[in-house]
Each structure stands twice: as C-alpha cells, then as structure tokens.
A and B are shown apart, each in its own frame.
Chain A
C-alpha cells in the first residue's frame, strides 16, 4: 500500500496517512523508555541530503534514524557549488553508489526531491522543497491535532500567515482536507495564492472571520527580513492584524489549540504570552516530529525495490 518515496501529501491516500499516524503513535512510546532505541534498522544507512540549511528538521530525522538503530549520515553540500540541476543529480548519484537505504532531501527549490527520486534506487523522503511540500511537518501536525482533539474529521483548522511561500501550509491543506477537516486560510491578500480555493479551502482576509469557531489555529512563520515592505507594510502592522494573541483567540472555540511549526518569531506570528505561557502544544509538535519521522523511516527505508513498486 505504501509507495516507494514520500514526496508529498498530495499523492498520499487517506489510508496511507492514517497508517503513518498509527505507526507514529506506537513510535512515541519508544521515546519514553529508558533505552530509547530499537534494533529495527540495524545495519541500514540513511543519508540526510540537505541542500538548504535546517537545524530542527535535520536533527529530528537524525534522532529518528538513530532510535531505529540506522547509521545516519548528514550531507550538506554548499548551495553555491551546486547551482546547476545536473550537479545536484551528480551528487545524488554519488550518494546512491554508496547504497543508502533511504535519502532524506531538503532543497530550496520545488521539485528537487522528485528529480532525485527519478534517478535513485533508494527511497526518497522529502524534508521540504521550496514552496512545494513538507510532508513530515504536515504529518506531525496531524498527529498533534489527533492527540489533542481525538480525531480530525469535522474539525475547523485555520492556517494564518504567508500561505504563498509556505510548503508547510500547502502540505497541511492537503493533509487536513484528506482527513475530513474544514480548512481556512487567513493572510494579507498578496500572500494568498491565486486559485487556492481549488484545494478545497476558504480564504479570508479578515482574521476574525477566519477564527470564528476554529478548533485549531496554525500560525506560520513569517520570514520578516525577506517579506516586510513587499507583502505587508511592516512587521508591526502584520502582527497587529494577523498576529495571534489572547484577544484574537477569543473568536475561536474555547478549547482551540494554537500551533506553530517553529521557530516562533515572538511578537510577530504569536504574541509573547501565547508563545511562552502555552507552549505545550508547540513542544508536542517537536516530540511528535521525531515519532513521525521514525514511522516514515520504518515504513519507507530499506525495503526491497522489487516489492516496493513506484
């Protein structure tokens, strides 16, 4: 049932998503043991191929691989020496010749994991490509919401922030839609991609309306240094209109949870009081990140190519 590569949520079926979540649920228990390691992927090699710098996701994949007893190798070629698509594939082929059992790829441009998967024998896990997808982030968000709310069906999820540039938003839209949630997005008009409604979401430019009755409020990280001035007048104005604070949160349901993929720009996407006084769910996201990546490596890494047809 599970395919060869994990490139995006878009191509997964509901049953596959649920299989990954159920597996991750069991993986969480391993993190609570005294010996946080199982021998499942002993003798297997996982390559973290990160063309774009990342601390959290890479560390999360590394811990996940090590908890399953795999050998994890981090490979971060400098982007400057890899401008041409050919050289990216060359790098990938070189790695492939070392017979890894899975290659985890992150790249600043959309579609690179797919291109690499096309030439590699090993399964490829997308750890974020440009503004395309970040499937493991969406999976860990699903897991967190499922633990908090019991199930996903029928929930209202409001995603707030830079939808246009966000792979996290895109993967989460697919993920929550596939599991039966209503998804709303709220952002300043320039940050709402055109035709986003085709993905089955409702776009709002008023945060208040978008939060009305929401069960889950997901704030996205604003790359303020890059965007201020171009997409919204100033960080301060963004925070006044789209930053989540206690006052705005009153429009959502009383038991609404606030999520953030991290790292939080305090006082921008989330007010200080929310980021610092209710960090529980956001830390659960981090914990679930390791469990999800363990589940993904367990289900995808090192399977025999003949049986894991693409």
Chain B
C-alpha cells in the first residue's frame, strides 16, 4: 500500500507500510488539510489494472458499456475506455448518467441539488454495463444509478467500479472492481480533484478530515 504525502512534502511517494490495518499511522490526529491517498500515477495504475480485470471477468468484451456517474466517474470511465482500447483494441461506448433525480433523500432536503449531465449514446439492452464512480460509501448512489439505468433498457449484467471503497455501506451493494479500499471516518470527505483539468488530469484523490470537510462543504454553499 502506498500513501502519498500532501503537497509541499518532498517525500512524494513515500511508502507507509501496513495496509488497511495501519489506520492509526495513516490518520494521525494532527493530520494536515487534505491528505492525498492516490496521486495521478496511482490512479493511472489502478485504472489499468481494473481494465485488465474487466476483460478477465467478461467473456464477451464487445458487449461492454461503461456508464459514468458524474462528476468524478466521468474522467475515470473515459480513461478506462482508453485503456480497453489500448489493451484489447476495443471501442467501448461511454455513457454519463446523473443520479440526482433518483436520489432517496430529495424529499427531505430544502434546496434541491443541481442536476448534472446525462448522455447515453446508445441503448443498454443486452449489454454488460459497468458503472464507474470515484468514491463509494453508503451505496445509495449506486442504487440510484441502477434504477436510472433500468429506465434506459435492460442490461444483461451490471457491474460496478469504485476507485475508492470507503466501507460504511447502508445498502447491500458490492463493488466488482475496486481501486483502493480505504477505511475512513464516516464524516470525512473523500474527493477526486483535478476534474477541471479535463481528461488529461492530473487527478488526485484526497481525504479531508471532519473539520475541513465541514468547512469545505460550508464554502461550497
């Protein structure tokens, strides 16, 4: 397991041993503003491995259909598609599916959340749909995405990619492909950064501790 120190640290790519069990070392109480968990290189490596796993798992790769959950899933799905083309010379359709209108907490929130892009280039019927999201936690977004997907047809199989699996599941949802398992405090916020840089990135996955997470949320409003 490989943890990258946040910006300003000269020890880029310093190894912190121990894996998932080493949470006390990884999350010191004095932790800085945003802790990077995966940098551009790490994300690229994960997505290449996941592309191989997708091909390994599916016997009919020509039926693959990647569906990104915005915003974080979009660059990841595009990169996975590029990887699949590189590895197996496959041209896989990439759709974007906003789950906002399918959320289960809309009725209880005051201001309605902004909608995001939905763009499904072709029918999903009989395809092996691979949903792609950046961070998976409760599983509620994946549930919403599956409901939304069914309104576009009847996929043969639905699989899920999560770049990070945080645990804390509230629904019986399991991921088929995981970039990294990451034990976090439920109130922490895990963000994929670098989305504004377009597809070329660089992307970076960071954890904000409870305090900064609430500040960041406050600033976002």
Question: How far is B120's CA from A35's CA once the two chains are assembled, in angstroms?
Answer: 13
Give the nearest-CB partner of A300 in chain B: B112
Q: Given A29-B119, A304-B108, A38–B102 Cβ distance below 8 Å?
A: yes
Question: How far is B109's CA from A307's CA once the two chains are assembled, in angstroms?
Answer: 8
In the complex, the answer to whether A34 meets B152 with C-beta atoms within 8 Å is yes
Question: How far is B43's CA from A247's CA once the two chains are assembled, in angstroms?
Answer: 61
B-contact 0/1 string along A282-304, CB 8 Å cutoff: 00000000000000001100111
In the complex, the answer to whether A35 meets B107 with C-beta atoms within 8 Å is no
In the complex, the answer to whether A23 meets B152 with C-beta atoms within 8 Å is no
In the complex, the answer to whether A29 meets B110 with C-beta atoms within 8 Å is no
For chain B, the count of residues having a C-beta within 8 Å of the partner chain is 22
Main secondary structure of the interface of A (DSSP, over half): loop
Q: Is A308 an interface residue (CB 8 A)?
A: yes
Q: Is B12 an interface residue (CB 8 A)?
A: no
Q: Is A53 an interface residue (CB 8 A)?
A: no
Give the nearest-CB partner of A36 in chain B: B151
Main secondary structure of the interface of B (DSSP, over half): loop
Question: How far is B15's CA from A290's CA once the two chains are assembled, in angstroms?
Answer: 56
Q: Given A38-B151, A39-B147, A303–B112 Cβ distance below 8 Å?
A: yes
In the complex, the answer to whether B115 meets A302 with C-beta atoms within 8 Å is no
Question: How far is B110's CA from A29's CA once the two chains are assembled, in angstroms?
Answer: 24
Question: How far is B113's CA from A40's CA once the two chains are assembled, in angstroms?
Answer: 12
In the complex, the answer to whether A23 meets B114 with C-beta atoms within 8 Å is yes
Question: How far is B107's CA from A302's CA once the two chains are assembled, in angstroms?
Answer: 7
Q: Is A194 an interface residue (CB 8 A)?
A: no
Which residues of B lie under 8 Å from residue A27 when comparing CB positions? Answer: 115
A-contact 0/1 string along B107-139, CB 8 Å cutoff: 111111011111100010000000000000000
Question: How far is B108's CA from A37's CA once the two chains are assembled, in angstroms?
Answer: 21
Give the nearest-CB partner of B108 in chain A: A304
Give the nearest-CB partner of A308 in chain B: B110
3 tightest Cβ-Cβ pairs between the two chains A and B: A307-B110, A26-B115, A38-B101
Point out residues on B near A: beta carbons under 8 Å: 98, 101-102, 106-112, 114-119, 123, 147-148, 151-153
